[in-house]
Amino acid sequence: MDRKLDELLYALMQNMMITVSGEKLARDLAVSHSTLVRWVEKLREAGIEIRGELFTGYRLVRLPDVLLPQLLRPRLNTRFLGRSLYHFYDVDSTNLFANRLLSHQHKVPEGTIILAEFQTAGRGRLGRSWYSEREAGIYFTMILFPKTPPSLVPLFTLATAVAMHNAVERYTGLDVDIKWPNDLLIGRKKFCGILSEIQAEVDLVKTMIIGVGVNANQEHLPQDIQHRATSLRIESGRIQSRLEILLEFFEEFETIYMDFERKGPAGIVDQWTRFSSFANGRKIEIHDGVRRLSGVTRGLNPLGALRVERQTGVVEEVYSGDVVAWE
Ligand code: BTN
């Protein structure tokens, strides 16, 4: 966790365009001169433009778009989500870090969020990797302890998709679609993916981690994914505030999550069905890891499985997989 780097960056941000003496920074942060020099170097390596050196003082050249806890915390309107927050400039994967935290730390508060500016080993569904350009995307993981049987787990990923759908539509004004189970699209291109992992006993979930990756401000995407991926910036033609989108998402998700615990899953299934053009009457082909299955979609069952009507008229319920083709 990069808490010290966050403190240094926050101190520089509060003195935007002003040169702050290295002496004073080191004193305020209670570190030696050599440590300060090292931290400034680390921030520079993370792409933050800082002019000057220890004896001339340091100055931020432009306001960086960094998801600093110092900026997020005062604006959080949630009860538990994000109240415990880890922020990294570099991490292998926020999901991997969440798993390490759960196995090494005795008490992890529910709603803990791990945020990263850059992932060296971002992970996607079905063993794929997740492209994580520095500061351009939103990469985070939520740690949850829902009191629920494992059979209801897919509903939490659907809930995450619904919450991000609502947050992005509200903040950007873009038209967002949800491809089953939980890819967010604009037009036919994906800009957000969700990766959930659980530890469970036979009848009870012990821990759930939900990782979310949003392509927010990428100007270009790598050539091999350009035909199927996009970013909010590409679609809207302007830079989007990652911070505002995150804040909207946290509030949305917490409300849906608490409603789920109080009233059950019907609300999630209902919202997902309203927001996804894939819910009903869509000709699709799904790959579930073993077989390819094609048919027409006929809504979700109460557990979040997709009902697919085959050519024979039989309706199958699919719990996981990838929609590989659609009309
Ligand atoms: C998908 O394949 O659609 C899921 C992508 C999930 C990516 C996010 S980025 C933050 C979190 N950490 C990871 O390593 N993966 C998820």
Residue 79 has what pLDDT? 97
Over residues 126-170, the pLDDT tens digits come to 889 998 888 899 999 999 999 999 999 999 999 999 999 999 999
- Give the angle 186-117-70 at the CA atoms, nearest 5°: 110
Rounded to an integer, what distance in angstroms lies between the CA atom of residue 288 and that of residue 285? 10
Ligand 1 centre distance from Cα of residue 124 (Å): 5
**193 CA from centroid of ligand 1 (Å):** 6
DSSP string, 162-191: HHHHHHHHHHH----EEETTTEEEETTEEE
Distance 158 CA to ligand 1 centre (A): 15
What is residue 17's predicted lDDT score, i.e. its pLDDT?
A: 81
Contact between 298 and 315 (Cβ < 8 Å)? yes
* Nearest residue to 209 via CA among 200, 201, 217, 219: 200
- In ligand 1, the atom with minimum distance to the C-alpha of 192 is 3
- Ligand 1 environment, Cβ below 6 A: 93-95, 119, 122-125, 128, 130, 139-141, 183, 193-195, 211-213
Ligand 1 closest atom vs CA 124: 2
Which residue reads 């967002």 in tokens?
176
Average pLDDT for residues 108-125, to the nearest whole number?
96
CA of 216 to the centre of ligand 1 (A): 14
Mutate which of 195, 214, 231, 324 for ligand 1 pocket (most atoms within 8 A of beta carbon):
195
pLDDT band at 106 (very low <50, low <70, confident <90, very high): confident
Residue 22 pLDDT exceeds 80? yes
Q: Give tens-digit pLDDT for 56-85.
A: 999 998 888 899 999 999 999 999 999 999
CA distances from 108 to 24, 119, 139, 170 (A): 35, 22, 20, 31
CA 82 to ligand 1 center in whole angstroms: 18
Per residue in 292-321, pLDDT (tens digit) is 999 999 999 999 999 999 999 999 999 989
The pLDDT value given to residue 202: 85
At 1 the pLDDT is: 55
Is residue 291 within 8 Å of 119, Cβ to Cβ? no
